[in-house]
Chains A and B, each alone.
Chain A
Amino acid sequence: DTGVSQDPRHKITKRGQNVTFRCDPISEHNRLYWYRQTLGQGPEFLTYFQNEAQLEKSRLLSDRFSAERPKGSFSTLEIQRTEQGDSAMYLCASSQYGGPGTGELFFGEGSRLTVL
């Protein structure tokens, strides 16, 4: 396993269209996170899963955003009715839970979204 993979790496879409990103975590990792990063800023937490359960969602995750991890393996992040403000890098990370604060996050290379 070579790490966390994300697909697509780049997506250009028109405002109002729906987009979906996929993340494949490191296989033995039970935690999966989605972050969003805009230019010049640090990653902002969106949501996180432990196995298939979505345990926390940020207030940044509006109703137009939905994330799933149906079998506790890969995850998808869908954005409906995209807006120009959704343009960002969407980062996925995974970790192996070993207690609070343990388990470094392994990040993918991100999916860059541009909404025209």
Chain B
Amino acid sequence: AQKVTQAQTEISVVEKEDVTLDCVYETRDTTYYLFWYKQPPSGELVFLIRRNSFDEQNEISGRYSWNFQKSTSSFNFTITASQVVDSAVYFCALVDTGRRALTFGSGTRLQVQP
């Protein structure tokens, strides 16, 4: 069975602060894929990143970075120097080879105050 846990329901920061969103996952498969999606107030989920279980290299894309650690089953997401436009709900998701559909966590609402 797949499960994704995002323990932080809501985080509020002031602009330019760094913020880390936590994601812990469960799967019995050795091959799986992890994702992060952003859901701005408009409602449309936007893909941010995909990671497969064999690639534990951390990734950086501009102000965004992701830390994948299989030993702790975590795939955390850090926004550096946050901006008001980063305000959204962020979802972590998982799919393993036994399923074809993503399992999403419950999301973390990030509010960046000016």
Contact = CB atoms under 8 A, between A and B. Distances in A.
Contacts of A56: 99-101
Interface residues of A, number: 26
A45 interface: yes
Interface residues of B, number: 30
Contacts of A45: 101-103
Nearest to B35: A104
Interface stretch (B39-47, B59-67, B75-83): B39-47
B100 A42 contact: no
Contact of B97 (A33, A44, A100, A110): A100
A67 interface: no
A101 B94 CA distance: 9
A45 B104 CA distance: 9
A56 B101 CA distance: 9
Given A91-B45, A106-B47, A110-B43, A42 B52 contact: no
Given A40-B106, A42-B107, A104 B47 contact: yes
Interface string B28-49: 0001110101000011111100
A89 B43 contact: yes
B50 interface: yes
Q: Which 6 A-B pairs have the closest CB atoms?
A: A101-B33, A42-B104, A107-B45, A104-B47, A45-B101, A109-B44
Interface of A: 31, 33, 35, 40-45, 48, 55-56, 58, 89, 91, 93, 100-102, 104-110
Interface of B: 4, 6, 9, 31-33, 35, 37, 42-47, 50, 52, 91, 93, 95-97, 99-107
